[in-house]
Chain A
């Protein structure tokens, strides 16, 4: 009884209170709605990532430098290490990455199956960075005949070896091709599985340390090995800001590297287990174009790169490296470098 009466009292009290604050009560639902909308807006899904596939070519280290310098903070840019270019290409094909640091020939190979390949930046020209290292017994390219050569099939390695063989008047049939990913080069050579290897970067450094001889390098085929940054066309449109930041970061890091080489080397060398000096040395084997040169190479009525690219297509067709011809003009996209 008491309970009910007290409840009654409470009720009358409440109704009186409600009466008094009725004007204010009206505001309640609106406040609720407002806070809800705030919450939902705060809880939006984060921006979709811009994943960049990178393999351990020194020319691509500028991206890591840019990241280390903080240019990629507040962006959805993710730099993903891949052990080899073949893996990169697989990842790109399977839709696991939005951008890729890749050589021109790889980009052309991709373009045969993927229609969204866009070359947005020329990172560098390999001039000596790609080499063929061989056991000391093998003195020159001709001596490769009948030997086992480790090649990163499906990737640049194929191009390099075919060009090298060409220069030595040999064909791929004359050698035994052992397909090896970049990450396998060192071990395979050291274990004696292969007699020679088409390699670059850290692997090159380490294999060289074991006493292997360099019988070929990309300076013998200047301008044919072009390192580029490939971004999907859809990503260029939907994540233009991030794409822009990616390219900008590269050029800024390039400047920084020029100005502070030692510091830059110290920032990025440990990632690939080489010393800063070795890193800087490896940078000798490439020539990195600046923004203006990029704009010339990629843009305008007659992009400079087009000639190189067409020639590359022809070579690759001859060497059975392209399943069908590709028109490089469709691949060059200068919108990002133009904006810098």
Chain B
């Protein structure tokens, strides 16, 4: 069998029990059967002997005509306890003699041998006896031929009677059964003891030791690697135990090694992961740094470009301003004198006219020609307007100069209003209207601002950028006459202690809400490509928040307008280092030149 599913502890005694029971049963049965067979055989032999002898005797007696002796002979058969009935029939199957006298003279049919007529016939024919066993095996019959007295004239007896003996087996069989059972009982007891002995033997040598081995295996399988099977002897179980122990030892050693290497591996893994993480983090950091650096670089580039632009613009402006300044100055200076001289001359003429009332026709025609009255009025007007003009030129130059001070690294204490004004002046042409565009109204609401420590030029750039944005924002409303008139309002005030606020607002189209968070992003622009750098507000933001540690905020209502609010600390000595040292140096030199 492939699998033996039962535990030895139970299977061995069970098998022994079953085996014992079966064997005992078989023994009992065999004993019984055998003893019955023996009884049957013994009685059959008995019957054969008795039948043979008695029939011979009866034949002899009948041959001699000694019927009395025949009767005696047959009655002697009563000596055998088991021989229940002896009957002698004649040739016509009528009872001649019987141990039971009432059967005498009866026909065969009325006797216990009734159903044996056929056997009687056979026996007569063959002249040999037969021993029959009844169907229920309780009776044995001996049927023998008995040649009777010869009829005169014959040499061979034709009259043949039959001797019928009936043996009862019940008593014998009962005794035999009892004996058999007794024998079987003793055999069974012996067998039982033997089985128990075997069971003990197996228990000692097999079951217990096997159970030990099983327990050791279980515990080992559960994980107690130090378990060893302690089984002595040199039979197969001991060999298994020895092999098991060796195996266990090896497994234990291997497991420990494995565990150690696992731990080492885990550690190595962790270390590796840590390293990887670190590396990744550092890489990320680097990446971020690089990105930031890139952005900064880009910003810086844009800023640099812008600054370079502004610087070159500043250079240009400074140059122009410088060149214009000198001639304008002496024109402006000379005009004041000219006005003075003109007034003096007119006054003199007036005096001459008052005092010399002579009519000189040349003088009178000249006076008419030149329209002296008109001339005298007009002259002062002209000169005044020339003065205004030069003043204006001087203002412009001043603004230009103010404006070109953007790259100054010096942290100066300046008047912010001047810077705003100068910026406005520069953008003046853009505020003007023409037949297409309405003019932009500039509303100034200046508060009482003290002088502020700042990078003046940079702040001017901020104003410039914001105002430029405002102008562009108002482009729509300048075209459309139905909207409110375009207006830029500049409001300055002092807020809190040490902070000033400059708010530049326009009533343009406003900034959509989705866009609002992005306006200070570098390179962010809503203008078509090529139209703007998108750096204006970004630079402004950088200048205000980083350079000046200030705040730049935007409030916008789409459709209504936009306001940009700059807040700067009043007094603060900046410790920030200007990154563009080259421009600074250059600007410084230009500033020197301008001054």
Which residues of A line the B interface, CB within 8 A? 87, 89-90, 93-96, 113-114, 151, 153-154, 158, 161-162, 171-173, 176-177, 179-181, 319-321
Contacts and interface: CB of A to CB of B under 8 A. Distances in A.
B155 A94 contact: no
A93 B129 CA distance: 8
Contacts of B128: 93-95, 113-114
Closest 3 CB pairs of A and B: A93-B128, A158-B155, A113-B126
B156 interface: yes
B129 A161 contact: no
A172 B155 contact: yes
Contact of A151 (B60, B125, B147, B155): B155
Interface string B132-153: 0000000000001001001011
A154 B48 contact: no
B248 to A, nearest CB: 26
Given A87-B56, A161-B155, A320-B155, A177 B150 contact: yes
Contact of A172 (B63, B153, B157): B153
Nearest to A160: B155
B125 A113 contact: yes
B154 interface: yes
B56 A177 contact: no
A95 B129 CA distance: 9
Nearest to B125: A113
Interface of B: 48, 52, 56, 60, 63, 125-129, 144, 147, 150, 152-157
B535 to A, nearest CB: 105
A319 to B, nearest CB: 7
A254 to B, nearest CB: 32
A179 B63 contact: yes
14 contacts: A94-B128, A94-B144, A95-B128, A96-B52, A114-B128, A151-B155, A158-B155, A158-B156, A171-B153, A173-B152, A173-B153, A320-B155, A320-B156, A321-B155
A177 B126 contact: no
Given A90-B52, A93-B127, A94-B48, 17 more contacts: A87-B56, A90-B127, A93-B126, A95-B128, A113-B128, A153-B63, A153-B155, A153-B157, A171-B153, A173-B153, A176-B152, A177-B153, A177-B154, A177-B155, A320-B154, A320-B155, A320-B156
Given A96-B52, A153-B150, A177-B150, A114 B126 contact: yes
A87 B157 CA distance: 15
A49 to B, nearest CB: 15
A321 B156 CA distance: 7
B156 A154 contact: yes
A113 B127 contact: yes
A154 B147 CA distance: 10
A176 B63 CA distance: 14
Contacts of A89: 127
A187 to B, nearest CB: 12
Nearest to B48: A94
A114 B128 CA distance: 9
A254 B56 CA distance: 34
Contacts of B48: 94
Contacts of B126: 93, 113-114
A111 to B, nearest CB: 12
Contacts of A114: 126, 128
A90 B56 contact: yes
Contacts of B125: 113
Nearest to A93: B128
Contact of B150 (A93, A161, A179): A179
Contacts of B150: 153, 177, 179
Nearest to B126: A113
A154 B157 contact: yes
Contact of B155 (A87, A95, A162): A162
A162 B154 CA distance: 10
Nearest to A161: B155
A97 B144 CA distance: 17
A95 B128 CA distance: 8
Contacts of B155: 151, 153, 158, 161-162, 172, 177, 319-321
A264 to B, nearest CB: 33
A132 to B, nearest CB: 14
Contacts of B144: 94
Contacts of B157: 153-154, 179
Given A87-B56, A154-B147, A94 B129 contact: yes
Contacts of B52: 90, 94, 96
Contacts of B129: 93-94
Nearest to A165: B155
Nearest to B151: A177
Nearest to A115: B126
A80 to B, nearest CB: 14
A28 B401 CA distance: 134
Nearest to B144: A94
A82 to B, nearest CB: 11
Among B52, B153, B156, chain A packs the most CB atoms within 10 A around the CB of B156
Contacts of A320: 154-156
A108 B281 CA distance: 132
A161 B154 CA distance: 11
Among A94, A151, A320, chain B packs the most CB atoms within 10 A around the CB of A94
B478 to A, nearest CB: 124
Contacts of A181: 60
A250 B557 CA distance: 160
Contacts of A93: 126-129
A94 B60 CA distance: 17
Given A87-B56, A94-B48, A94-B52, A172 B154 contact: yes
A161 B153 CA distance: 12
Contacts of B147: 154
A94 to B, nearest CB: 5
A172 B153 CA distance: 5
B72 to A, nearest CB: 20
A189 to B, nearest CB: 15
B204 to A, nearest CB: 11
Nearest to A109: B156
Among A171, A176, A177, chain B packs the most CB atoms within 10 A around the CB of A177
B158 to A, nearest CB: 9
Contacts of B154: 172, 177, 320
A180 B155 CA distance: 11
Contacts of A180: 63
A95 B155 CA distance: 25
Contacts of A151: 155
A166 B144 CA distance: 34
B156 A153 contact: yes
A175 to B, nearest CB: 9
Contacts of A113: 125-128
Nearest to B63: A179
Nearest to B149: A179
A95 B48 CA distance: 10
A161 B156 CA distance: 12
A283 B440 CA distance: 189
A154 B160 CA distance: 12
A154 B157 CA distance: 7
A153 B63 CA distance: 10
Nearest to B60: A181
B409 to A, nearest CB: 109
Among B127, B129, B152, B157, chain A packs the most CB atoms within 10 A around the CB of B127
A177 B60 CA distance: 15
A95 to B, nearest CB: 7
Contacts of A158: 155-156
A92 to B, nearest CB: 8
